[in-house]
Structure 1
Amino acid sequence: MDILHLTYFLEVARQKSFTKASQMLHVSQPSISKVIKTLENELGVTLLERSGREVELTDAGEAVFKRVQRVVVEFKNLASELSDVIDLKRGELTIGLPPMIGSRFFPKPIAQFRQAYPLIHLKLIEEGAKQIELAVQDGTLDLGVVALPATRDDFETFAFVNEPLRVVLYHDHPLAQSASLTLAMLSNESFVLYREDFSLFDHILRQCQLNGFMPRIACQSSQWDFIVEMVGAKLGIALLPETICKELDPQRFVTIPMNDPIIPWNLAIIWKKDRYISFAAREWLRLTKNYFSKQI
């Protein structure tokens, strides 16, 4: 048993698929299957069961999975510390960015980081905020970007955006002349919403429930432009951040502030508390804090 065997096992368990794990690890599927079989023989237990197209953990696999996660994270921490000592400008940094956020806020910080540290491999993973939180928690990601509040309290955070959501309507919508809107006034509308793996999806649904209704969902997406075009096609309304609303064509869309409730859009970089922060991660945080402080 070695750390590579454990890493393969973790990836198969996370992906619930030998094929997907093979793609993520860039290792052939037969090699991964052989490693898992060797690991099972060494431990004397069955770790994984194939159930249809998916792979499921056995009870023994669940127990090993929990332990192995900590072992691999500690090994990565040790490797990062040694890397910092040996060569302060090499390494790898893995960051989770929601699709709607990464392309809008991070091209310039990414370019600055690559210019400053060309030998550090910057790996960007596009996921929804919920998956990013889980990946930062288990050590798969070094850092992630999410909409606050996070679902867990064991993260350190650096907030860099704080603005309200606005209602986006097609230009001749009956409510288009309103000075402001309440969520209750939208109870009979169809909504174009974010995907379920985005934290704003849960946040908006919770606010709708508090106002006495469940939104009628016309469609969902992870992309701003698709959401906006669905509104333009009169399929429904949307709730989008001010940053996005400022860029919309006023000939096609009307954006109106909400006053009851005001739904905030607070973005932050998160990392795990009490975990070693590598030189690459520290420099990324320093650079992005400096960049966003100049944008205020």
Structure 2
Amino acid sequence: MEIRELQWFAALAEHEHVTLVSERMNISQPTLSRAIRRLEARVGVPLFDRHQNRLRLNRYGEVFRAHALRAIAEIETAEQRIAALIDPDAGTVALGFLHSYGTWLVPELLAGYRSRAPRTAFELRGDAADSVVDGVRCGRLDLGLTSPRPVGDDLEWVPLREEPLCLLVPVGHRLARRRSVKLSELAEEAFVALQPVFGLRQITDRLCAAAGFTPRVAWESTELSTLRSLVEAGMGVAVVPTTGSLDRQGAVVVLLSDPGAARTVGVITPASGLRSPVAQRFLDYVCSTAHASYA
């Protein structure tokens, strides 16, 4: 059984049209038909129902397609990994990160790395902190940019830099004219916050607990941009990163004077080590940026 025959079968299973698939795969119709008959002879059952020169994938074909697609994907992954071993600049890095890092940190890192390894490709996946951590743990991601530091000894963590946090309040709020504020002064305020799976929410909850209260969260969101817009609309106050918060028109940034009012940006990788040289090279570059920024 050849990999190209599996690829032909997968294409035919999708389109169910011999002429179309033969043209797209650049093979003759007789060659395609013979390949499908060989596959059916090997598995011992028809994979397609044939009605007046039309094909329809049957239940046996559905089972075979699921396994064929996995086999094709495994072969392609093997080819990519071998290519990376030969040339660590030409592979693909699966990089996960918090959504908010996609507006500044990720572009900064990729722009700096491009001059070193212009042929490296990236799969970029912005998500909540818990999802980024799970992605690295289960191998869907090579490395992740997240905060706070995840719990567990199955991940390596390298802190990169400190990102100060601030309080965002609506224009006209009682604290809008203040230069700084302590979180303990906000015990009676309505908060707008990210959902609990997000790292920023977890940090906010810890800071408020250290200040002696549990924040009264009136509105939850999955995006910082929505959070800031809710504050501008007067729906509450929010603890947000200083990055991207200084140019708001309908809200005012107030500094937080509480100790530890910052989130540490870090990179996580499996404790067992990275799987590809291309990911290791990018990790080395990311970690090299920490010396200038995390001080």
Q: Using the aligned pairs only, state the percent identity.
A: 24
* Counterpart in the other structure of 1:267: 265
* Counterpart in the other structure of 2:191: 191
CA distance in 1, matches of 2:61, 2:225: 39
Letter in 2 for 1:177: R
Cα deviations across residues 163-218 of structure 1 (Å, max 9, x unaligned)? 33111112211122334322221111111111222122122223333444322223
CA distance in 1, matches of 2:166, 2:128: 21
CA offset at residue 102 of structure 1? Answer: 1.6
Gaps of 5+ in 1: 1-27, 39-75
Structure 2 SS opposite 1:132: helix
Matches within 5 A, 1:208-287: 208-249=208-249, 252-287=250-285
After superposition, the Cα gap between the structure-2 partners of 1:175 and 1:140, relative to the gap in structure 1 and judged at 3 Å, is same
CA distance in 2, matches of 1:191, 1:231: 9
Which of the two has higher C-alpha Rg? 2
Task: Give the count of matched residue pairs.
Answer: 231
* Counterpart in the other structure of 1:144: 144
* Counterpart in the other structure of 1:43: none
**Is the CA contact 1:92–1:122 (under 8 Å) kept in the aligned structure 2?**
yes
Over the residues paired in the alignment, what is the CA RMSD in angstroms? 3.4
After superposition, the Cα gap between the structure-2 partners of 1:31 and 1:93, relative to the gap in structure 1 and judged at 3 Å, is farther
**Is the CA contact 1:98–1:127 (under 8 Å) kept in the aligned structure 2?**
yes
Letter in 1 for 2:272: D
CA distance in 2, matches of 1:171, 1:33: 59
The worse-fitting range, judged by mean Cα deviation, of 130-139 and 81-90 is 81-90
* Counterpart in the other structure of 1:34: 63
* Counterpart in the other structure of 1:20: none
* Counterpart in the other structure of 1:172: 172
Gaps of 5+ in 2: 1-56, 68-76
CA distance in 1, matches of 2:183, 2:277: 45
Structure 1 SS opposite 2:257: strand
Letter in 2 for 1:265: R
Letter in 1 for 2:254: I
**Is the CA contact 2:190–2:237 (under 8 Å) kept in the aligned structure 1?**
yes
Structure 2 SS opposite 1:247: coil
CA distance in 1, matches of 2:273, 2:290: 24
**Is the CA contact 1:183–1:261 (under 8 Å) kept in the aligned structure 2?**
no
Matches within 5 A, 1:103-142: 103-114=103-114, 116-142=116-142
CA distance in 1, matches of 2:60, 2:199: 37
After superposition, the Cα gap between the structure-2 partners of 1:34 and 1:164, relative to the gap in structure 1 and judged at 3 Å, is same
**Is the CA contact 2:95–2:144 (under 8 Å) kept in the aligned structure 1?**
yes
* Counterpart in the other structure of 2:92: 92
CA distance in 1, matches of 2:162, 2:216: 27
Structure 2 SS opposite 1:176: coil
Structure 1 SS opposite 2:163: strand
Structure 2 SS opposite 1:260: coil
**Is the CA contact 1:100–1:222 (under 8 Å) kept in the aligned structure 2?**
no
CA distance in 1, matches of 2:200, 2:291: 25
